[in-house]
Structure formats: C-alpha cells, structure tokens
Structure 1
C-alpha cells in the first residue's frame, strides 16, 4: 500500500485537530521547476504531489509532521542556495567527522548540493531526499542532514517508503501530545527517534 500526502494530512488532522488549516495553499510550477534546476535532477512524483497539495505551513508554533515543519518551496530554495554558498566557501574539515550509519549508503559529507530538504526543525536540521548517494545507496533515499547532523542515516529508500513509515508511526502507541496540541514520537526530537528506529 502506498500512502499519499493526502492520506497523511487527513490522518494528522483527524488525530490532532490543532493542525486543521495549518497548511498553505498549493505551490506553482515555477517554484518546483526552480528547485529541480537547483538540484539538477527531476523531482519524484510523490514530492511534486506534496507541493501540489500544500506549499509548506502557515503555523510555526509546532511542526506538522511529528514536530518538524513542512518547508515551503521558498524556504527550500533559500536553504539550497545557502548550502551551496557554504560548500563554495569551503567546508574546512567539517566533513571529517561525518559518518554514514549504513556504511557506503550516504556520502560522508557535511553538506551536498543534491540533498533536498523537505522537513526541518528551525535550527538548521532537516529530513530530505538524497540525489547524490554513496555507492551502496539509492537515488532519492530519505536521510538526515544539516547543521548538527554529522552522523547520517537512511530512514527510507524512497519518499514513498518514508510516507508509509510516517503512516505507521501515526498509529503508534508511543505518540505523545503536548499542551499546545503538538505531537511527538517517543517524546524526543523526531530526527533522533528515526535514528533509533534505523538502528533496530
């Protein structure tokens, strides 16, 4: 079974009414074309469908996906250009301590122009798609990266698989709800929770 973004939004808003109306209107083709040009590859249909449904979030109080925010296309373009500038200026050894938990699947780099952010925590850390995988990795695999994410993990082999994972986690007994109506998995930062799942 393939979980769609529409399936996920229906489930999230049914379980957590705080998020009703939290998503923005759909994006336009120009924004998606700009992203595709920046990463120099075509975008998966699943990614396109997300943004044909909603161009990020209206609310910033708590993230729509387990505390993480769905980035707007404007924010994605900003991040892609910003990371490109960081790479152009030189990483000065920042990649030296980077690792790929599943050896060979992710390039041991601090930043890469072909890592496409999708979800973020407002502190410079992301879950996104990897279009420049290591020799054992898969094009479009879903990974963590960002300012504090030296140790990289593959959370799913594709965005479709990641959507299925989110759907399963939304049914978990380990979800907690805070007083503002936000929700978390295992009461921890969602990127860290996914790392834990990836090691099991």
Structure 2
C-alpha cells in the first residue's frame, strides 16, 4: 500500500502541497481492532494496510476523493453509528415493510446494510462503502455507492485496492484536478471553476 500513498502524495506535492498537511498519521492497531469489533468482521487486508500509513484526512473543506473526505477510522465509526441508529429506529421501513434499494447485480437490495462500511463522505449522507455482505453474484470487499436520497447502489470497483488503483491512476492521468475550495475534483465537474 506504500506505493499508492507515495504516488498520491507525489501528485499532491506537485499540484496541491497544502493537502499533505491534512493527512492523519497511520491508524493505531487498537483503533482498527475496535472498528472490526464494532462491525463484527475483519476489514480487507488492503484497507488495513493503507490506513496503517494514513488514517484518512482531517475534517477540512478540501476533500481528497472527488471533493469528498477520505474518512478516518474514527469518522467511519461515527458514520456507521449514524446509519445503524437510523436502521434500528425503523427509518428504512414503510408500513412495517423494508424500503428496498435498486442495486447493481451483486449488491443486496437493502437501503443500508451494517456491513456496508463508509470510507468517504460528502457531509450530506453520501458515501463510498466497502461491501462486506454482497449478494451471491458480488464480491466481498467490493466498493459501492450509497446515496442517502437515491435508491440506486452501484458497484464502483471489485475491491478496495482496485478502487484505489483506478482512482490514483485517474488522478495521475489528469482526470482530476485541485480546486482550492473543494480539493481534488473531476476535471469535468461543476465544482471545477476558479475561485
């Protein structure tokens, strides 16, 4: 995982050196173990190795993942509890029937599943998640979208490492740029304007 951080930090150094200042140091083994105990299963080895080097980013206006925050393990825990509280309160049911999502093949049709672990966030309830409980056609550890007000759930990558490779390669290729107000954003997004 060191290679991915090296590549990402090298890009930041060239294009947005101030982003280097919002990276947390690596997560402690105790914090990672606490997350795994909370969710009741192990996180993927690639995720743990990546987070051992940098535990996501500080809460800042600038996001590292297409304007979204790369959540720390502590922030992942907060978001997980938020979604779990909504689930436990019956928010995802209507007349005692579950509200179903419309997922890609390979994702369960839950509105939210306790084994969908958010690792990015936009501050409005939208995330990329690691899916540790896929449908039979899916892969454990696949990366999926979770939008709080949209029923579609999409598979973004087959694994955390695959997502990471694709994203960092796209950043290096120039598909993403730095915009001071938002952080790293896709070059074609509406967020791409001079401020």
What is aligned with 1:139? Answer: 140
Q: Do residues 69 (structure 1) and 53 (structure 2) align?
A: no
Matches within 5 A, 1:1-200: 4-90=4-90, 91-93=92-94, 96=99, 98-100=101-103, 102-103=104-105, 105-180=106-181, 182-185=183-186, 186-188=188-190
Give the distance between the partners of 1:181 and 1:114, measured in 2 at CA: 29
Shift in Å, 1:109: 1.4
Shift in Å, 1:129: 0.2
**Runs of at least 5 residues in structure 2 that lack an aligned partner in the other structure:** none
Is contact 1:27–1:52 with CA below 8 Å preserved after alignment? yes
Give the distance between the partners of 1:42 and 1:97, measured in 2 at CA: 26
What is aligned with 1:194? Answer: none
Residue aligned with 1:116, SS: strand
- Check 1:6–1:47 CA distance in 2 against 1; reply closer, same or farther (3 A cut): farther
| Alignment root-mean-square deviation, CA | 2.3
Is contact 1:98–1:110 with CA below 8 Å preserved after alignment? yes
- Check 1:134–1:123 CA distance in 2 against 1; reply closer, same or farther (3 A cut): same
Shift in Å, 1:173: 4.1
Shift in Å, 1:95: 5.5
TM-score (norm 2): 0.84
Give the distance between the partners of 2:98 and 2:150, measured in 1 at CA: 11
Shift in Å, 1:10: 2.8
Give the distance between the partners of 1:13 and 1:128, measured in 2 at CA: 27
Is contact 2:141–2:160 with CA below 8 Å preserved after alignment? yes
Is contact 1:129–1:140 with CA below 8 Å preserved after alignment? yes
Higher deviation after alignment, 7-16 or 76-85? 7-16
Shift in Å, 1:20: 2.3
Shift in Å, 1:171: 2.9
